[in-house]
Structure 1
Amino acid sequence: MPAALLTVILAASAAVSLSFGIRQTFGLFLLPLAQEAAIAPAVFGAAVALHNLVWGFAQPVSGAMADRFGAGRVIACGGFLYVAGLGMMALWPGEASAVVGIGLLTGLGVACAGSGTANSAVARAAPPEKRGEMLGLASAGGSVGQALMVPAVQAAILGWGAVGAIGMLALASLLVLPVGRCLEWRPAPRPPGGPRPVGLAGLPALARNALADRDFALLTLGFFACGFQLAFLVTHLPAHLALCGLPAGLGATALMLVGLFNIPGSWFCGWLAGRVRPELVLGLLYLIRTTAVALFALAPPSSAGTLVFAAVMGATWLGTVPLTNAAIARRFGVADIGALFGVCFMSHQIGGFLGAGSAAVLVNATGSYALFWPVMVMVGLMAAVANFVARPPRVALA
């Protein structure tokens, strides 16, 4: 592998590790912040839901900016936003700072520093025949942050309290800044006569044209279900396990296992993207994930069952990202891949907003998540069908 490509993959992995690793721990704070800072679980759940919605609507803009000005600069801006949001929450803990800091600022931060921006740089740097595999490697490397961050934050909550742990995350966000400097600091060179990125001015027309494509619209619909399922699990799985009377640390262990199993899962999905039509693999992925959700909901609550469920979900967790990027690149090329992934990802985060937010309302009203699991199954089946019926592009551009 050329040294320049290796640098891009390592920097993208580091950016995703930090940005996703931090946000993956938000579910651990749901109950501790209620006890320590009198932040109602419904309010914090709503803040995380807003985080997902802001992330989704900001992703097309940050992706277009990365296409136009270079992914590294956008990622560095994301680091500043993360520090501001988490720092506000640590210095002035309360319901207002949760909504503004977690909901708004870190939502903007992960849109700038997360996989949508980082992987656009990888897609442009990788040769077409290796693009899916390289995207899978970057996503797999990005899972390391989740695997390491969850137990570290759980230990910090036990040792320093929830507010102290958020302060630790604010300091960790500073590491995003030097990572951005190592990753496509300037726009990638374009071949003579090749397509140029549309930029912010052309983003609305680009989105309309892409969504007019039936099969891109189906890909986008499937991504809605992905966000719905994953945002619910990240935000509410630890609380669900606690309400079932399972050990207090099991939620953190489950989220750590998700990160660990996501490492080989993401790489394998990226490897498959170069050998099998990505939409077919996505359909199978959603089907496996939804079957695991159904079995977990039907089985009696247990530690062993939770760990198996976490391992299966981890193996399919971020594998959707390299597959979706590969599907977009095959259909539209890579000149606007950051913006196009952002358009698709907006649907993902609308799903995330509804998954995290409606579950917060439900548990506040009923004290249980029991009614939510059938909804998770139905949404997942919809995603599987949408991807199975999608057609390949008439002419593969990449």
Structure 2
Amino acid sequence: MKIENWRTPAVILWCGALILAVSLGIRHTFGLFLQPMSLDNGWGREAFAFAIALQNLVWGLAQPFAGRLADRFGAGWAILVGTLLYVAGLLLMAQSASTFGLALSAGVLIGLGLSGTTFPVVFGAVSRAVPPEQRSMAMGIAMAVGSLGQFVLLPGSQWLIGAFGWAAALVVLGLLGVGMGPLSAALFERPSANPAAGEARPLRAILAEAFTHRGFWLLSLGFFVCGFQVVFIAVHIPAFLMDRGLSPLVGTTVLALIGLFNIFGSYLAGLGGGKFRKPMLLTGIYLTRAVVITVFILLPVTAWSAYAFGMVMGLLWLSTVPLTNGTVATVFGVGNMSMLGGIVFLFHQIGAFLGGWLGGYLYDATGSYRAVWIIAIGLSLAAALLNWPIREQAVRPATATA
């Protein structure tokens, strides 16, 4: 095999999957830092919640631009720049002693870093590398491996916090994040030379095609709900369970179970997306989330009910991601998938901002998370209705199926 041909679809898939494992795995641990950082610095919960909410908003706002960079010049460049920003954010977060420093590090820098190292960019490269009939499955595999990182890093981070303190734990996570740099080498693609990228088109025409498509808006609004739910739960579930008298270990275990069962949920979503209507599967996921959250808050909260919640919610956690991105690829093609997927993801992150921040704000205002749980249930029902009428029909068959 010629050296220039080492970037095979399998290599691109697995390197991209490992990048997701590191990037999403580190992000999944941030809920563990809420209480120790807040206690040591004398902050209310809203301060940390706002920083994580800002992170998600910056991530979402930057995502279309990172996606455009990946579509034009290759995903590797976006990942490399994102890695540098992500690591800088983690190291500065370890030194944060003020709410401004926390917002700058955990909020702005890590948010920018995530825009270059997560699924809109990685999925774009993977989708361009594999045949159309394998795209949904490939995205499911990548997301499943990314979920493995969430499962592995949670107990490790909890141990680091307990043994060495939260600042040292963040430094170790920063050093781990450096590993995404070498992995990005496999994704230094040249989309212009890739027949799947299609003929170059003006940016205005690409955006006009998406913004006048009803399904694009329905998909984006539905993804807003996903962002609200997952960030609220990821950031606030450890504190919610401690408020119920459970140990910190229970909250860590719940997040780890979410990561573990998300491996299976993401894989099954990718498998199902290749056989059934992806919008129909999204409707089912959001309806099931509404039921699971309702049962969880109505029943007495115990360690075992929390573990059951983590397992079932894990199956539904990021299973929306391969289905949502797969729908974008089916309808609009893969040549501009990172950018268009990034725009859809912006709505996810607006929801994430509200879920993360509103959880802290309403808790400080009312002393309870109950109102936010109720909002999450109502939004889940709305997302189910929004996704159902979306049609998986290519707007330009020649390129969408290239």
Give the TM-score of the pair, scaled to structure 2: 0.94
Amino acid at match of 1:179: L
Equivalent residue of 2:193, what SS? coil
Amino acid at match of 1:97: G
Amino acid at match of 1:304: W
Distance 1:380 1:272, change over 3 A: same
Aligned twin of 1:217:
217
Aligned twin of 1:65:
69
Give the TM-score of the pair, scaled to structure 1: 0.95
Tell me the CA shift for residue 40 of structure 1. 3.0
From 8, 13, 17, the equivalent of 1:13 is: 17
Equivalent positions of 1:258-337 (< 5 A) are 258-337=258-337
Q: Deviations over 1:192-247 (max 9, x none)?
A: 9932265xxx2x65334312211111111100000010010111111111111112
Equivalent positions of 1:134-149 (< 5 A) are 134-149=138-153
Task: For 1:352 and 1:211, locate their aligned partners in 2 and report how far apart those are by CA, in whole Å.
Answer: 22
183-192 or 300-309, which moves further after superposition? 183-192
Aligned twin of 2:27:
23
Aligned twin of 1:76:
80
Aligned twin of 2:387:
387
Q: Deviations over 1:137-175 (max 9, x none)?
A: 111111111001111111111111111111111111111
Amino acid at match of 2:42: A
Segments ≥4 residues shifted beyond 4 Å: none
Task: For 2:97 and 2:22, locate their aligned partners in 1 and report how far apart those are by CA, in whole Å.
Answer: 22
Segments of 5+ residues of structure 2 without an aligned counterpart are: 1-5
Equivalent residue of 2:270, what SS? helix
Distance 1:233 1:37, change over 3 A: same
Task: For 2:235 and 2:322, locate their aligned partners in 1 and report how far apart those are by CA, in whole Å.
Answer: 23
Segments of 5+ residues of structure 1 without an aligned counterpart are: none
Q: How many percent identity over aligned positions?
A: 39
Task: For 2:79 and 2:25, locate their aligned partners in 1 and report how far apart those are by CA, in whole Å.
Answer: 15
Instruction: Give RMSD over aligned pairs.
Output: 1.7
Contact 1:22–1:149, Cα closer than 8 Å, also in 2: yes
**Alignment size in residue pairs:** 393
Aligned twin of 1:345:
345
1:37 aligns with 2:41: yes
Aligned twin of 1:49:
53
Distance 1:302 1:129, change over 3 A: same
Task: For 1:33 and 1:192, locate their aligned partners in 2 and report how far apart those are by CA, in whole Å.
Answer: 47
Tell me the CA shift for residue 189 of structure 1. 2.4
Distance 1:312 1:252, change over 3 A: same
Amino acid at match of 1:351: G
